[in-house]
């Protein structure tokens, strides 16, 4: 049975991926992890970064004696998966991303980080603030948000995925984006798709950005189909 690692998005946690994990566990040995400072894990003294999250992935794989794995990454998790594959290509069988933002610039980072204002979120969407508090307890969700905003600003100044390094990724990759995603555009997803040497582009109909709004059955089918096709191809050429 193939191994599949699920990676959560910004402000998320492993718990947000449990429904997907349960839907996929009949076909794969499915793992999830909490990135540093998420899901109640201690807030790191260092800033959130792709380097830190890549280290989290490596330590998790080593801890569980996983030599190689398929990876599904939602939003920021997809960005982290691709960055990890650049650092450790031999540990990755394939990558499926969904709703991953690639168009990082100072302007884009400013726009995204402005939305991560704990005071305004408590005022305007108190239920979301409550959800974040529960998700990251005993840590302060406001600190998680501040550190995420700082990471976005850093990505705006120095994106971790660039036209220079994306073509180095040889693993099979499927880039998924929803046709109604108001945070990630088809254009930026296509930009990454055209730079990757072994990629597929998937546009999910009637799909917005929040993971909980994505049709679980459709996403499960797409992940299973993608990994199965790559596994079959690998076994055929061996």
Q: Do the domain assignments include residue 155?
A: no
Domain assignment present for 115: no
**Three-class secondary structure assignment of 129-167:** HHHHHHHHCCCCHHHHHHHHHHHHHHHHHCCCCCCCCHH
What pLDDT sits at residue 230?
75
* Residue 156 resides in a domain: no
Q: What is the rounded radius of gyration, in angstroms, for the C-alpha atoms of the chain?
A: 17
Within 13 Å and on the Cβ side, how many CA atoms surround 213?
13
Write out the residue range of the structural domain in which residue 173 sits: 3-102+161-232
Contacts of 202 (CB under 8 A, 6+ apart): 174, 175, 176, 177, 222
Overall residue count recorded for the chain in this entry: 238
Indicate whether 124 belongs to any domain. Answer: no
151 found inside a domain: no
pTM of the model as a whole: 0.95
144 in a domain, yes or no? no
> What DSSP designation does 69 have?
E
pLDDT score for 237 = 41
Question: Would residue 125 count as lying in a domain?
Answer: no
Total of domains in the chain: 1
Residue 88 lies inside a defined structural domain of this protein: yes
CATH number at residue 8: 3.40.50.1820
128 closest CA partner among 138, 139, 142, 149: 142
Asked whether the beta carbons of 8 and 32 are under 8 A apart, the reply is yes
Q: What is the mean pLDDT of each run of 10 residues along the chain (238 residues)?
A: 97 98 97 98 97 98 98 98 98 98 96 92 95 97 97 97 98 97 97 98 97 96 93 48
Report pLDDT for 232: 56
Convert 24-37 to b/e letters by CB count within 10 Å (16 or more is b).
beeebebbbbbbbb
């Amino acid at each position: 049975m193939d191994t599949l690692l699920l990676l959560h998005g910004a402000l998320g946690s492993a718990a947000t991926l449990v429904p997907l994990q349960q839907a996929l566990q009949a076909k794969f040995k499915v793992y999830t992890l909490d990135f540093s400072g998420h899901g109640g894990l201690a807030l790191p003294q260092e800033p959130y970064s792709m380097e830190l999250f890549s280290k989290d992935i490596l330590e998790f794989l080593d801890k569980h004696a996983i030599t190689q794995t398929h990876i599904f990454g939602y939003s920021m998790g997809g960005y982290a998966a691709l960055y990890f594959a650049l650092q450790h290509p031999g540990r990755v069988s394939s990558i499926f991303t969904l709703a991953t933002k690639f168009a990082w610039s100072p302007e884009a980072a400013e726009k995204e980080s402005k939305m991560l204002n704990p005071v305004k979120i408590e005022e305007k969407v108190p239920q979301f603030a409550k959800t974040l508090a529960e998700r990251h307890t005993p840590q302060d969700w406001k600190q998680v948000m501040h550190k995420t905003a700082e990471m976005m600003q850093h990505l705006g100044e120095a994106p971790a995925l660039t036209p220079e390094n994306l073509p180095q990724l040889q693993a099979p990759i499927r880039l998924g984006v929803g046709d109604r995603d108001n945070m990630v555009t088809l254009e930026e997803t296509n930009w990454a798709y055209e730079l990757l040497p072994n990629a597929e582009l998937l546009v999910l109909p009637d799909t917005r950005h929040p993971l909980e709004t994505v049709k679980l059955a459709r996403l499960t089918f797409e992940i299973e189909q993608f990994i199965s096709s790559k596994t079959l191809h690998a076994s055929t050429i061996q």
